[in-house]
Amino acid sequence: MEKMHAEILEQIRAAREEDLRAPRGIADRKRVVGLIKEIQVVLLPGHFHYNDLSEEAAFDNLVRDLDEQIGSALCFSGTSPMKAKKLAEEFIQTLPEIMRQINTDIQAIYDGDPAAKSKTEIILCYPGFYAISIYRIAHVLYQLGIPYIPRIMTEYAHEKTGIDINPGATIGDYFCIDHGTGIVIGETAVLGHHVKLYQGVTIGAKSFEKDENGNPVKGGKRHPDIGNHVVIYANATILGGDTVIGDHSVIGGNTWIIDSVPEGMKVYYTNK
């Protein structure tokens, strides 16, 4: 039996494509999730807890663990890990600004949901806040050019909340997600300040262009721009890199939009 199992294991190894074989040095997903939890303790101690760490101990652990995981991610992507300490310190210096943005998001959710009894309730209970706060962290790491780690973070939030925000998306202050399940925001989307989204909203791409070999063309502006003070109701789909939703617009539920919408417009579905 043991011999048969050993042969099966060898067959599995042989079947793996070359670039999937025994990666070494890649960022550890479990430890990246640990980074999220350390940052949560640093930013919102008392609301978040991790391994009984105090705010100060979480900060010290974060400095060490971030350096290590960034180094692993850089090494695996073919970049010198010597930059890891510098990048980790640059990220650490952004934590006050991340906290400022998170404060605006908490306020937007509190103002936007009459069911919210307190800001503490939002922090502890609201999946929209949980996904946004992790996105804020991941987006800074993405801007610093750190591979793997930002996407691991936002996919962890996606797994926990059903809200899929690519870390490359640019989102302004006072971002409110109400309910949230099924929201998708693509990598090159740009959202202004005071944007509110309901469940099932997609801010996505149209069909991808193909190269001469029939493969999807990577990169480029693929996702819409959403202006300031825009409300997008449940299950609306907005697609395309050339699509712009103007400031102070309202997009109704179950709409399908692939063209730009002028400022101050209301767009909704009517059954003819």
Same domain, 125 and 254: no
What pLDDT band is residue 167 in, cutting at 50, 70 and 90?
A: very high
Give the SS3 label for residue 251: strand
**Token pair listed for 253:** 């539920």
The reported pLDDT for the residue numbered 27 is 79
What pLDDT, on a 0 to 100 scale, did the predictor assign at position 11?
A: 86
Based on the fold, state whether residues 145 and 221 are members of the same structural domain.
Answer: no
Query: Is residue 12 situated within a structural domain?
Result: no
Residue 249 lies in a domain: yes
Over residues 120-154, the pLDDT tens digits come to 999 999 999 999 999 999 999 999 999 999 999 99
Contact 241, 188 (CB under 8 A): yes
The verdict on 208 and 262 lying in the same domain is yes
The total of structural domains in the chain comes to 2
- Mean pLDDT in residue range 14-29: 69
- Residue 2 lies inside a defined structural domain of this protein: no
Say whether both 194 and 77 belong to one domain: no
Query: So what's the pLDDT on residue 19?
Result: 61
Tell whether the model's pLDDT for residue 17 goes beyond 80.
no
Q: Looking at the structure, do residues 139 and 96 belong to the same domain, yes or no?
A: yes
Average pLDDT, the chain: 93
Q: Based on the domain organization, do 158 and 215 belong to the same domain? A: no
In terms of domains, do 36 and 122 share one? Answer: yes
Residue 270 lies in a domain: yes
Kindly state whether residues 201 and 134 are assigned to the same domain: no
Per-residue pLDDT band for 81 (boundaries 50, 70, 90) equals confident
Under the banding of pLDDT at 50, 70 and 90, the label for residue 266 is very high
Do 125 and 38 sit in the same domain of this protein? Answer: yes
Say what the pLDDT of residue 269 is.
83
Q: What is the pLDDT of residues 33-75, one digit of tens each?
A: 999 999 999 999 999 999 999 999 999 999 999 999 999 999 8
- Per-residue pLDDT, 24: 59
229 is a domain residue: yes
Residues 152 and 196 in one domain: no
CATH number at residue 266: 2.160.10.10
* Least confident window among 75-84, 224-233, 235-244: 75-84
Does residue 173 lie within any of the structural domains?
no
CA 73 to chain CA mean position, Å? 18
Residues 223 and 126 placed together within one structural domain of the fold = no
Q: Looking at the domain assignment, is residue 187 inside a domain?
A: yes
How far apart, in whole angstroms, are the C-alpha atoms of residue 265 and residue 231?
11
Provide the pLDDT for residue 85. 94
Question: In what helix (H) or strand (E) does residue 139 lie, and over which residues does it extend?
Answer: helix 127-143
Looking at 118, 133, 162, the residue that finishes a domain is 162
User: Which segments of the chain are extended strands (E)?
Assistant: 164-165, 170-171, 176-177, 184-185, 190-191, 196-197, 202-204, 225-226, 231-232, 237-239, 244-245, 250-251, 256-257, 266-267
- Residues 152 and 197 occupy one common structural domain: no
Q: Is residue 223 one of the residues assigned to a domain?
A: yes
Q: Which domain holds residue 200?
A: 182-272
Encode pLDDT of 169-226 as tens digits. 999 999 999 999 999 999 999 999 999 999 999 999 997 777 777 777 778 999 999 9
The CATH code of the domain that includes 101 is 1.10.3130.10
Has residue 92 got a pLDDT over 80? yes
Considering only residues 226 and 272, tell me which one the structure prediction assigns the higher pLDDT. Answer: 226
| Domain termination site, one of 132, 162, 192 | 162
| Higher local confidence (pLDDT), 217 or 238 | 238
Residue 37 CB-half CA count within 13 A: 13
End residue of a domain, out of 97, 129, 162: 162
Q: Residue 59: its pLDDT value, please?
A: 98
Q: Which of 126, 238, 222, 256 is nearest to 181 (CA)?
A: 126
